[in-house]
Amino acid sequence: MTVASRRPKPARPARQAPTDFTLPVSRAAIDAVTPIDGDPDWLRTDRQAAFDAFEALPAESNLLYTTYFDFRNVQLAGARVTTSVASAPAAIEVPSETDGLIVIDEGDLVGAALSAEAMAGGVTLTTIAGLSRQDPDRVRGLIDGGTTLPMDDRFAQLTRALWAQGIVLDIPAGVRLLRPIVIRWTAGAVDRALLSRTFISLGDGASATVLEELIDSGLSKPDGGQSLLAGTLEIQVGRDASLALTSLQELPSTTVAIQHRNAVIGEGATLHWALAQLGSRLVRSRVDNRLEGDRSSVEQVEIVFGGDDQLFDLTSYTHHVGRDTTGNLLSKGALLDRAKSFMKGMIVIERSAVGTDSFLGEFGMNLSKATRSVAIPSLEIDQPDCRRAMHASSVGPIDEAQLFYLESRGIAPDEARKFIVLGFLEPVVARVPVAEAQDRLREMLEARWDAGIGAAGGAAA
Amino acid sequence: MTATSEIITDQREQFAFHDDIAYLAETKRGLTRATVEEISGFKNEPDWMLQYRLRAFEHFQKRPMPTWTDGLDKINFDKIVYYRKPSEREEKSWDDVPEQIKATFEKLGIPEAERKFLAGVGAQYDSEVVYHSVKEELSKLGVVFMGTDQALVEYPDLFRKHFGTVVPAEDNKFSALNAAVWSGGSFVYVPKGVEVPLPLQAYFRINGENTGQFERTLIVVDEGAKVHYIEGCTAPIYATESLHVAVVEVVALPGSKVRYTTIQNWSNDVYNLVTKRAHAYENSTVEWIDANTGSRKTVKFPAIYLRGEGATADIISVAVAGKGQHQDTGAKAIHLAPNTRSRIVSKSVSKDGGRATYRGHLKVSPGATNVVASVRCDALMMDDISRSDTYPYIDIQEDDTSMTHEATVGKVSADQVFYLMSRGLTENEATNLIVQGFLEVFTKELPMEYAIEFNRLVKLEMEGSLG
């Protein structure tokens, strides 16, 4: 529609709408993608349905959030969608402190391995293509219909239409793994777009720890074209099962990361997320936690440490359905330079969810003048009979009193600032369930601060 | 649950009244360009105002209906009468007000309130101010308090300088509608350094089925001046839609202090869509004290733009949503200057299937350094067929902002009810007391007689809620 303006405006080039998605995709691209051998009809139909949905959906279908959508930094016009991946894995060894490892390098499977204990328990850790050769019905059961991805999300549907690589991790009922299983993705190659799906299922009473690493493949170029890594985690946590999932995202600064994490949590089950977002040019992440089983619980901690022109667009939906469910979400963000974060968190308590305890906290620290923190913590409540339903958020600068105190103890100002910022993030780091991932995250945060990013903040103060 | 609710009768009837008034002039149902011209013609307005109205009308037609809140598509703009004029001229004294209209106001208790306590009364009967009095001493101070239409005639320069500067016609679909067909409302001007010692009060009500009420209030408080403005609304109960689309503009010039208190109790068929906004300049203070009960749907977010260094914003917003009602209310504080402060406190109650939504916006723009802001929203749900939503938007673009936000949702605690019942209160009385306590942060800011009225309204809303 046209709106007549009273003042004539100077001619200017058509501004790219923030909703534009520049990745060149077409219906023909779907036919080119062959995620599993033989590309069965049901899969092609599923992917076509997804593409229809992608084309029909708005960039942000939740009207609450439409003003906070900004893809202007996404420049994927030159990117090519990966249509097929290599599947000639080498034999790899399981690192001693883990129960399993799978490595995908720029879409290609490098290898997958399980510990003796995991193998004895019947754990599956393989690519979707690999599993389809042994158990095609299982693969179809996971994928057909797309019920494990949000139907109203344009980018989730794009991933469902164009995924070329995928992983399945199955932990059978009753199997309790003591060490983490590592899922490692590398990305960043100039002009490469990879879309992928990951399925994790825990049977009744199972227990596992998963560490997802999203890292630089070494093929990115600071002034080269952007790359896209779109990925999912489609999770089923069975009755009384327990899953701890840590994700460390440190992709190169030319990468656009799109993430959909969708978990259905069964009766008495627990899911513990620890999500660290450090890298990428732009991250658009959406987490859907569905607490379907009675007494199910989710704990989610999230950390953002951004600089330069990074944008972190993070949404979480916590959906309380069963009785006496618990949700406890905590996000902390520290921003430098011109970094921006949009933290959108929604707690939904359905009428059936009597006895809910739900908390959402979003806390930010803007460390430079040009940063921007947006927090939209929302509640939609149909059942007041709850233990707790609340959210809290705050944004504040470095506390001068803390700085003064540290300086009075002889700590240099820059060092003191670093301590305060890392100390602000530490409560989240401390809740990362894998000790070794905790240490690594601390090192990453410190390295990021030291790599000039902190100096820039110090200069601005 | 208990028998107590059965012995309580709904007292709503005594607040619902409808007098048959002979209107002197009114427009046909529906809205066209001709309607707008007709309204302007009735009022003998200067040409600039007619042009302004027509521009706004065009914008209203072009602007799509907002979709971020639901139910607005049910408004039938063709069924509304956009202008009604009940008497020929502004009445200068209470004795001159027609008996029939006076009888209606008697039920609201205005004359007494005026005599005993209040500085001035501007009573809006449908679309025209029919009664207006400002105490002599205020006139001597140079305070202007009159109908907005009258101000356009008597203070054309002052009026034109500020009209539409805070809420432009193009701000949203409903501000455009108001700008096109506005009629009535209050105009207040407080000169430099003048402190108005008593609250200025305007009483609004809607009478006449399907009468749209489109009042326009403009308050200009000059440097160092101080004023408290109060408006309250009651309306007859009708089955078909009524529409209330108001615009309130407040200009708080440097060093001034403005408090604007509203209690609204619209009948359950009214769509109440209000744009309220204040511009706060250097070292000024603006306070919105805003309560919403009744109406089918209220959409209202009192906003304060902190434009001058050192300005302060304080918003207390209360909403009670009963059966079939949706209170989509909240607050906005937009920090545009350094060293500004804002505080938002919101309390909502939903019951009998009502829905209370808090929607807020807190923004700290680049350049607005050293901002301190806080937002607190609490919601109370009386039963599990009601609904409560909280949608706060917090957008911080400065590194030295100090912002805190907290929101909770809960129900009346059974322990508290039990305790009070053990002290001899009925379940209803106990619940009432708890709800009144929950809303006290608001009530305590009101002048006494308003606090009494508000508590009575809450009691009315709560009646039998546990039954």
pLDDT of A135 above 90: yes
| Pairwise CB contact (< 8 Å): B408 & A390 | yes
Report how far residue B34's alpha carbon sits from residue B46's, in angstroms, rounded to the nearest whole number. 17
Q: Enumerate the residues of chain B whose CB falls inside 8 A of the CB of residue A65.
A: none
Report how far residue A382's alpha carbon sits from residue A145's, in angstroms, rounded to the nearest whole number. 29
How much is the pLDDT for B83? Answer: 84
How much is the pLDDT for B130? Answer: 43
Write the DSSP symbol of residue B100.
H
Strands B186-190 and B216-221: parallel
Cβ atoms of A30 and A52 within 8 Å: the answer is no
Instruction: Of A85, A81, A78, give the one whose Cα is nearest residue A54.
Output: A81
Higher pLDDT, A212 or B243: A212
- Looking at the DSSP bridge assignments, the partners of residue B261 are B230, B289
| Pairwise CB contact (< 8 Å): A390 & B403 | no
How much is the pLDDT for B81? Answer: 83
Q: Which of A236-250, A384-398, B135-149, B391-405 has the lowest mean pLDDT?
A: B135-149
Q: How far is A46 from chain B (nearest CA, A)?
A: 31
Report how far residue B40's alpha carbon sits from residue B51's, in angstroms, rounded to the nearest whole number. 10
Work out the average pLDDT over A419-435. Answer: 87
What residues contact B143, with CB distance under 8 A and at least 6 apart? B134, B188, B189, B190, B191, B194, B196, B227
How much is the pLDDT for A173? Answer: 97
**Residue of A69, A335, A341, A395 to mutate for B, most B C-beta atoms under 10 A:** A395
How much is the pLDDT for A5? Answer: 40
pLDDT of A207 above 70: yes
The angle, 0 to 180 degrees and rounded to 10, between the axes of the packed helices A41-56 and A154-162 is 150
Closest residue of chain B to A67, computed from CA coordinates: B393
Q: What rounded mean pLDDT belongs to chain A?
A: 90
Q: Enumerate the residues of chain A whose CB falls inside 8 A of the CB of residue B363.
A: none
Q: How far is A177 from chain B (nearest CA, A)?
A: 38
pLDDT of A236 above 80: yes
- State how far Cα A14 lies from the chain centre: 32
Report how far residue B336's alpha carbon sits from residue B339's, in angstroms, rounded to the nearest whole number. 10
Cβ atoms of B315 and B288 within 8 Å: the answer is yes
Q: Which of A104-118, A259-273, B74-88 has the lowest mean pLDDT?
A: B74-88
The number of beta carbons lying within 10 Å of the beta carbon of residue B148 is 22
Cβ atoms of A375 and A364 within 8 Å: the answer is yes
Of B64, B68, B392, the CB nearest to A376: B392
Alpha helix ranges (H) inside A357-451: 400-408, 413-429, 435-448
- Burial (CB < 10 A; 0-12, 13-18, 19+), residue A93, is exposed
Report how far residue B73's alpha carbon sits from residue A8's, in angstroms, rounded to the nearest whole number. 33
Higher pLDDT, B443 or A161: A161
| Pairwise CB contact (< 8 Å): B398 & A351 | no
Q: How far is B23 from chain A (nearest CA, A)?
A: 38
Q: pLDDT per residue over A68-92, tens digit each?
A: 989 988 999 889 999 888 877 788 9
State the complex-level ipTM. 0.84
Q: pLDDT per residue over A278-293, tens digit each?
A: 999 999 999 999 999 9
| Pairwise CB contact (< 8 Å): B392 & A374 | no
Work out the average pLDDT over A120-141. Answer: 95
The residues of chain B scoring below 70 in pLDDT are 1-25, 85-136, 202-212, 232-241, 460, 463-467
Question: Which percentage of chain A shows pLDDT scores above 90?
Answer: 73
How much is the pLDDT for A460? Answer: 38
Cβ atoms of B285 and B315 within 8 Å: the answer is no
Of B394, B401, B409, the CB nearest to A376: B394
Q: Which residue has the tokens 């780091």?
A: A429
How much is the pLDDT for A398? Answer: 86
Q: Which of A373-382, A432-441, B451-460 has the lowest mean pLDDT?
A: B451-460
Q: pTM for this one?
A: 0.86
- Looking at the DSSP bridge assignments, the partners of residue A364 are A333, A395
Report how far residue B56's alpha carbon sits from residue B170's, in angstroms, rounded to the nearest whole number. 7
Q: How far is A43 from chain B (nearest CA, A)?
A: 36
A403-A405-A407 Cα angle (round to 5): 70
SS3 content of chain B, % helix, strand, coil (to 5): 30, 35, 35
Closest residue of chain B to A2, computed from CA coordinates: B62
Q: Enumerate the residues of chain A whose CB falls inside 8 A of the CB of residue B382.
A: 384
What is the dihedral angle through the alpha carbons of A207, A209, A212, A213, rounded to the nearest 10 degrees?
A: -160
pLDDT of A456 above 50: no
The beta strands (E) that lie in B19-66 are given as 25-26
pLDDT of A461 above 50: no
